[in-house]
């Protein structure tokens, strides 16, 4: 069955919040610690959530860039590590667990090491960071079942059964989301987001990048694998694993600061983006192997197993890989992330490579926070990106006007954009001191000032003849 012959997904039934909370199939029991201290909230979707983690050797181990520190390469691609959050059907023996042993938790000894990594990343002493994490999150467990069975049916209470024979229902196939973390992040830092998506029927692949953008991560090396090819291979100090801490740009440690006079280290950030792309490609390759019925082979090469650093003793034990064959929609994948990992919540312009042959060919929605809009270099880069996607009708939501009456609420994207742009134009004209006096007495003067103001904008950013064009260039008249 190809992507064009997929069965129709179930028709969801509208439910209230109370009904949604009640309909989740099975929830992991709380541990003793969670009965007295704060715990992560349960996911609200109709599916229970499963969790597994995979680290496997890449197809072509290599050095990503020529950047070095102490004659050793900075960015090496040896393995790919990711967690999978997925809709599951917990086994019968999972339902009555009272101690939470089937849930993903932290590896305590290595969490101390991760705490040291966060202390280094934040440039503060190790002791307070370790102590804080120990009493807040070090022993926290995810509200998900480790290595649980993949869901074989849509939840009964979210399906419209009229005209559908239960015997004709096929096993659901789940869309894939690859999630990329931001600076200082990890594969589990966004577990609430990834697990929430999984509870609504998505297969979420959370990649842990080894490009020096995370606080600390460990790379396990298979015994039979050759190390990444490099001219300085003799100088590498590697055993069966190595640690990757956050990489501060040389002589420009605070390159992410908005007012840093030296700007962003584009050489390092571009190399990191290249490595992230390679890691996501490898993660997708592994998922495709599982989808093609080769899950057992992937499990046999998994490096996150008992005896390896930062690994669970359970590894991938208990997973029924035959149930994963053909269950993912690999022909239509979504990539999302946060901050350096994408543009979902933060668009960080200076680290984005300059436009080249691979130009934006899809509609673009740019949502900029106020602080980042005042970062001149960042703002100019975002404007360039929006110009690049201009032919695809990009749009920017900079502010949302409050409607005067319910019937005036914008109901279409075009109306909403128009209203937002009009509100922004008015605000910026007032900020520039252009709305002077009353319209009756000062209209000629105000008109001349407005004309001069927009002529200046046009000279700087090209002719602006329509409101839609103002929106399309990301409201560059903010200056």
CA distance 290 to 321: 8
* pLDDT tens figures, 139-163: 788 889 999 999 998 877 666 555 5
* pLDDT tens figures, 2-13: 444 444 444 444
What 3 state SS string does the chain have?
A: CCHHHCCCCCCCCCCCHHHHHHHCCCCCCCCHHHHHCCCCCCCCCCCEEEEEEEEEEEEEEEECCCCEECCEECCEEEEEEEEEEEEEECCHHHCCCCCCCCECCCCHHHHHHHHHHHHHHHCCCHHHHHHHHHHHCCCCCCCCEECCEECCCCCHHHCCCCCCCHHHCCCCCEEEEEEECCCCCCCCCCHHHHHHHHHCCCEEEEEECCCCCCCEEEEECCCCCCCCECCCHHHCCCCCEEEEECCCCCCCCCCCCCCCCCCCCHHHHHHHHHHHHHHHHHHHHHHHHHHCCCHHHHHHCCCCCCCCCCCCCCCCCCCCHHHHCCCEEEEEEEEEECHHHCCCCCCCCCCCCCCCCCCCCCCCEECCCHHHHCCHHHHHHHHHHHHHCHHHCCEECCCCCCCCCHHHCCCCHHHHHHHHHHHHHHHHHHHCCCCCCCHHHHHHHHHHHHHHHHHHHHHHHCCCCCHHHHHHCCCHHHC
**pLDDT the model gives residue 235:** 42
Burial class (CB in 10 A: 0-12, 13-18, 19+), 189: middle
**pLDDT the model gives residue 401:** 44
- Considering just the CA atoms, what is the radius of gyration of the chain in Å? 26
Spacing of C-alpha 447 from chain mean position? 47
**pLDDT the model gives residue 257:** 67
* pLDDT tens figures, 344-363: 445 555 556 665 656 766 66
* pLDDT tens figures, 65-90: 888 888 888 899 999 999 999 999 86
- How does residue 391 score in pLDDT terms, banded at 50, 70 and 90? low
State whether the Cα torsion 27-31-34-39 is positive or negative.
negative
**pLDDT the model gives residue 402:** 41
268-297 mean pLDDT: 93
**pLDDT the model gives residue 54:** 96
**Residue 62 phi, psi (nearest 5):** -165, 165
* pLDDT tens figures, 102-125: 555 544 445 777 778 777 877 788
**pLDDT the model gives residue 405:** 39
Mean pLDDT over the full length of the chain: 71
**pLDDT the model gives residue 213:** 86
Question: Which comes out higher in pLDDT, residue 232 or 114?
Answer: 114
**pLDDT the model gives residue 39:** 73
* pLDDT tens figures, 31-59: 666 666 667 888 988 999 999 999 999 99
Beta bridge partners of 138: none
18-32, 202-216, 236-250, 356-370: range with lowest mean pLDDT: 18-32
Which of 383, 395, 399 is CA-nearest to residue 457?
383
Which of 399, 449, 394 is CA-nearest to residue 424?
399
29-43, 287-301, 457-471: range with lowest mean pLDDT: 457-471
What is the DSSP pairing of strand 241-245 with strand 203-208? unpaired
132-146, 163-177, 225-239, 412-426: range with lowest mean pLDDT: 225-239
pLDDT at 172 over 80: yes
% pLDDT > 90, the chain: 24
**pLDDT the model gives residue 309:** 84
pLDDT at 63 over 70: yes
pLDDT at 278 over 70: yes
Q: Which fold has domain 3-105+140-341?
A: Rossmann fold (3.40.50)
Q: What angle do CA 245, 317, 284 make, to 5 degrees?
A: 55
CA distance 464 to 443: 22
312-340 mean pLDDT: 89
pLDDT at 468 over 50: no
**pLDDT the model gives residue 388:** 73
Dihedral class, residue 29 (left if φ above 0, else alpha if ψ from -120 to 50, else beta): beta
**Domain boundaries, given as residue ranges, for the chain:** 3-105+140-341, 365-478
390-399, 418-427, 468-477: range with lowest mean pLDDT: 468-477
pLDDT at 343 over 60: no
- How does residue 471 score in pLDDT terms, banded at 50, 70 and 90? very low
């Amino acid at each position: 069955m190809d992507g064009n012959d997929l069965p129709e997904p179930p028709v969801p039934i509208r439910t209230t919040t109370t009904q949604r909370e009640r309909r989740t199939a099975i929830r992991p029991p709380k541990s003793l610690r969670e009965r007295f201290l704060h715990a992560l909230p349960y996911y609200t979707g109709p599916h229970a959530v499963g969790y597994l983690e995979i680290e496997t050797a890449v197809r072509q181990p290599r050095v990503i860039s020529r950047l070095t520190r102490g004659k050793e390469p900075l960015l090496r691609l040896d393995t790919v590590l990711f967690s999978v959050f997925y809709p599951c059907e917990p086994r019968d023996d999972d339902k009555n667990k009272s101690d939470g042993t089937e849930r993903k938790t932290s590896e305590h000894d290595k969490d101390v090491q991760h705490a040291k990594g966060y202390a280094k990343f934040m440039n503060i002493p190790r002791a307070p960071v370790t102590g804080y994490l120990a009493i807040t999150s070090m022993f926290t467990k995810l509200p998900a079942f480790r290595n649980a069975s993949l869901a074989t049916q849509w939840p009964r209470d979210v399906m419209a059964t009229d005209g559908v024979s239960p015997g004709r229902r096929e096993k659901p196939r789940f869309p894939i989301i690859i999630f990329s973390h931001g600076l200082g992040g990890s594969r589990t830092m966004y577990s609430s987001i990834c697990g929430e998506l999984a509870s609504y029927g998505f297969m979420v692949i959370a990649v842990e990048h080894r490009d020096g953008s995370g606080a600390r991560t460990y790379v396990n090396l298979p015994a039979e694998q050759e190390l990444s090819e490099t001219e300085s291979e003799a100088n590498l100090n590697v055993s069966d694993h190595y640690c990757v801490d956050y990489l501060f740009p040389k002589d420009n440690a605070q390159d992410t600061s908005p007012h840093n006079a030296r700007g962003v280290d584009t050489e390092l950030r571009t190399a990191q983006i290249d490595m992230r792309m390679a890691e996501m490609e490898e993660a997708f390759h592994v998922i495709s192997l599982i989808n093609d019925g080769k899950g057992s082979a992937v499990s046999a090469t998994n490096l996150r197993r008992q005896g390896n650093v930062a690994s669970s003793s359970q590894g991938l034990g208990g997973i029924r890989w035959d149930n994963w064959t053909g269950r993912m929609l690999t022909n239509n994948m979504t990539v999302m992330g946060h901050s350096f990992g994408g543009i979902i919540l933060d668009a960080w312009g200076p680290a984005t490579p300059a436009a080249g042959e691979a130009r934006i060919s899809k509609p673009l929605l740019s949502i900029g926070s106020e602080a980042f809009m005042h970062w001149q270099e960042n703002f100019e880069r975002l404007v360039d990106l929006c110009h690049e996607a201009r032919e695809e009708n990009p749009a920017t939501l900079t502010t949302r006007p409050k409607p005067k009456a319910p019937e005036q609420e914008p109901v279409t994207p075009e109306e909403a954009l128009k209203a937002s742009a009009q509100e922004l134009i008015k605000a910026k004209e007032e900020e520039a001191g252009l709305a002077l006096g009353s319209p009756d007495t000062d209209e000629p003067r105000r008109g001349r000032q407005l004309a001069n103001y927009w002529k200046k904008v046009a000279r700087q950013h090209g002719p602006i003849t329509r409101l839609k064009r103002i929106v399309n260039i990301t409201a560059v008249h903010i200056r």
